[in-house]
Amino acid sequence: MSNTRRNFLKQIGASAGMSALYMSGTSTAGLAAQDVRAMAAGAQGSMHDNEAFWDRIRNEFIIEDKLIMMNAANMTPSPKVVHETVIDHTRDMDMNCSFQNRGKYGDLTTKAREFIAGFLGADTDEIGFVRNTSEANNTVINGLDLGAGDEVLIWDQNHPCNNIAWHQRAERLGFTVVTVSTDETLNTIDDLLRPFKEAINSNTKILAFSHVSNVTGTALPGKEMTQLAHANGAKCLVDGAQTFGYMDIDLHDMGCDFYTSSGQKWILGPREASFVYVKREAQAELWPNIVTVGWARNKANGAQKYESLGQRDDGRLWALGRAVEFHQMIGQDRIEARINYLASVLRANMVTNIPNIKVLTEQAEGFNSGIFVGLIPNTDAPRAARTIYDQHRISGAIGGREDVLRVRLCPHIYNSVEQMGQIADYIKASI
């Protein structure tokens, strides 16, 4: 564990009521979840299968009755403490959007940056606020000096903002994009690393990959991939859209040069509020995409030069900090264990109930994923997808064309073990 992360955990544990000091407007968000904080502080172990514990956590969400939310890889509901922070600050801004009232956001944004940096084992001057992973990835893609003879190595399971975006940039600058595939069945870490080891060479300037694939749920080893890139003189971009808020991350330990993510996914944060991590040593080589008011100040503050975006909804940045605080209150290790437990129960139920399902989420030992992806053949996919949502109220990435139904299901801490059984039953009844 890095010193940054260790100090953050010590600080957050010793100051339970700290965040209320930085609130403005009503005290609702400042007081929310204090009983949950006390419950979590007194809990022992991972609590991954303690339904009473997680029932209490679920009370912090206002999810529509009977709706089973299983789409964390795309968007999650926020806990009360987060969405009430957004509401309070939106109201406060509409009541008084003067320069004087907005001045408080300097302190709030600083505190949010500290929360995020400490949570991820980074330094505050390595965190720049952006809107989502797409903007963060494109900040890196458009900010590097690449040209003819240079190569960028990517995974074919990357999200389009870390895949197609590279190809579009290559059309303009003339560098080469090399795409590799991993095997369908993965048994060891060597199976994950092999195709990248075979493709990387002295012309490779950056290795860019999704930490966990949104396509199959397959996880790549971030630290070992970073070491592979650095051993070959390349930099490493880790797309953490599916790991920020799911996995326990220490960026200094991982060693990557760039890490990107979104606030509306696993961290349970607000929409259009996120960050790009740029390691201090890599900042001199990455140009900003946008330069506007406050540039001189931002330029002198590390990764803040990548957040020079003009007017923005500053209250959402503070709400993102509150989401991190909510995770830390429960314990990120507990959250990861709970998600993995629910995903394993879901997988077992799906395979048992639907014998002809082809599971795409095959993991190497020790590399878990909170994403379950399966293909169900011989199904009227459009009709089944409509039935699954309209009648059974399951919200996930469920669809397909003609006779193959594709289901991507991603549980989170607002889900129950009971729902994992219901999902398998309802999908079976719909195909």
Do 310 and 397 fall into the same domain?
Answer: no
Q: Locate tokens 């992973």: which residue?
A: 133
Which residue among 326, 353, 369 closes a domain?
326
CATH of the domain at 194: 3.40.640.10
Which residues have C-beta within 8 Å of that of residue 163, sequence separation ≥ 6? 154, 156, 179
Instruction: Give the three-state DSSP class for 203.
Output: coil
**For residue 13, how many other CB atoms are within 10 A of its CB?**
11
Do 308 and 344 fall into the same domain?
Answer: no
Single out the residue of 151, 137, 217 nearest to residue 182, CA to CA: 217
- Exposure string over 34-45, b if 16+ CB within 10 A, otherwise e: eebbebbeeeee
Do 322 and 299 fall into the same domain?
Answer: yes
Q: What is the pLDDT along the chain (431 residues), one digit of tens a residue?
A: 555 555 555 454 434 333 433 343 333 444 345 677 888 888 899 999 999 999 999 999 999 999 999 999 999 999 999 999 999 999 999 999 999 999 999 899 999 999 999 999 999 999 999 999 999 999 999 999 999 999 999 999 999 999 999 999 999 999 999 999 998 888 889 999 999 999 999 999 999 999 999 999 999 999 999 999 999 999 999 999 999 999 999 999 999 999 999 999 999 999 999 999 999 999 999 999 989 887 888 888 899 999 988 888 999 999 999 999 999 999 999 999 999 999 999 999 999 999 999 998 766 677 768 999 999 999 999 999 999 999 999 999 999 988 999 999 999 999 999 999 999 999 999 99
Inter-axis angle of helices 105-119 and 3-14, nearest 10: 120
Do 346 and 405 fall into the same domain?
Answer: yes
Cα torsion angle, 143, 119, 121, 244, sign: negative
Do 348 and 382 fall into the same domain?
Answer: yes
Which residue among 291, 310, 326 closes a domain?
326
Do 213 and 119 fall into the same domain?
Answer: yes
- Exposure string over 205-219, b if 16+ CB within 10 A, otherwise e: bbbbbbbbbbbbbbb
CA 186 to chain centroid, in Å, comes to: 23
d(CA 278, CA 59): 36
Do 343 and 239 fall into the same domain?
Answer: no
Do 226 and 262 fall into the same domain?
Answer: yes
- Tell whether 35 is covered by a domain: no
Tell me the residue range of the domain where 200 lies.
Answer: 114-326
d(CA 96, CA 119): 32
Do 147 and 260 fall into the same domain?
Answer: yes
Do 131 and 276 fall into the same domain?
Answer: yes
Looking at the structure of the chain, the number of domains it has is: 2
d(CA 133, CA 139): 10
**For residue 270, how many other CB atoms are within 10 A of its CB?**
23
- Tell whether 8 is covered by a domain: no
CATH of the domain at 370: 3.90.1150.10
d(CA 356, CA 358): 6
- Tell whether 104 is covered by a domain: no
Residues in the chain: 431
d(CA 327, CA 87): 20
Neighbouring C-alpha atoms within 13 Å toward the C-beta of 149: 2
Do 341 and 310 fall into the same domain?
Answer: no
Which residue among 326, 356, 387 closes a domain?
326
The gap between the terminal CA atoms of the chain, to the nearest Å, is 47
Do 346 and 419 fall into the same domain?
Answer: yes
- Tell whether 32 is covered by a domain: no
Cβ–Cβ under 8 Å, residues 308 and 295: yes
Neighbouring C-alpha atoms within 13 Å toward the C-beta of 53: 20
Instruction: Give the three-state DSSP class for 61.
Output: coil
Which residues have C-beta within 8 Å of that of residue 63, sequence separation ≥ 6? 69, 77, 414
